[in-house]
Every structure is written in C-alpha cells, then in structure tokens.
Amino acid sequence: MTYVAVARSKYAKIAPRKSRLVADQIRGKDAGEARTILRFSRKKKAAGIITKVLDSAIANAQVKHPNIDVDRLYVAQIYVDKAPYLKRYRAAPRGRGVPILKRYCHITIELGEREEK
C-alpha cells in the first residue's frame, strides 16, 4: 500500500490527549465518512483543526494525482504527536509559583487509495 498524500499541522494549539480522542474516531475511514464524523464530533476544537488537515490532504492528493477518484481515498494513517509547550507561572501561596503548561501538538494525516474490487 502506498500513500497518496500527506498533510501536517504543526504546533496546533490543543493538547495532544484531546486531539487523539478525535483522531482515533476517523482512523481507517473513507475521506468523506471521516469529514461527516468530524462535522458532528463533540470535541469541536480538535475536530475543526483535524478537518482542516484532512481537507489539505485531499487537496494535496488532487494536485499530486490529477486523475484520482476522491471517493476512493481513505485515512490510511493519522497520528498526533507532542510539540514543545509554553511554560507560564501562576502565583501560589507562600511566595511560590506553580507552572502552567500550554500544550501544543503536531497532527499528521496520510491518505491512501482503496483498490477497486
């Protein structure tokens, strides 16, 4: 199996743990079905970011292979990796500061083409 197209979103402003919940829902699904799942997902922020990456991957496939049938595309791989996070500090009792971590993630989607039967 070869990958038709790849799209990435780097330094997305959402925690990887929250994004993985949505990514697990569309892994292995057809591109159109994945779009529908994302549209009605309850995790609105993660679904919005992943929808943009999926649309970018579909557009990349159309540019790379002009005569490709979009209906045969499916999400071959999707993974969410940790990105560097911002560290902020909040005042705490007794003159201390407690860290607040602003987490980011990298989202990668690889599309494949299903074989005709």
Across the chain, what does the average pLDDT equal? 93
Tell me, what's the pLDDT at 117? 61
Intra-chain end-to-end CA distance of the chain, in Å: 15
73: which strand partners? Answer: 113
Of 1, 21, 35, 11, which Cα lies nearest the Cα of 108? 11
* Exposure letters 69-97 (e unless 16+ CB within 10 A, then b): eeeebbbbebebeeeeeeeeeeeeeeeee
The β-bridge partners of 36 are none
Please give the average per-residue pLDDT across 17-33, as a whole number: 94
Nearest alpha-carbon partner for 108 in 83, 90, 71: 83
The CATH superfamily holding the domain 3-113 is Ribosomal protein L22/L17 (3.90.470.10)
Cα–Cα distance measured from residue 104 to residue 49, given in angstroms and rounded to the nearest whole number: 12
pLDDT of residue 43: 85
φ and ψ of 30, to 5 deg = -65, 155
What are the extents of the domains in the chain?
3-113
Asked whether residue 1 carries a pLDDT value surpassing 60, the answer given is no
Name the nearest CA neighbour of 9 among 23, 21, 27.
23
pLDDT tens digit string along 31-76? 999 999 999 998 889 999 999 999 999 999 999 999 989 999 999 9
pLDDT 10s digits, 62-116: 999 999 899 999 999 999 999 999 999 999 999 999 999 999 999 999 999 988 7
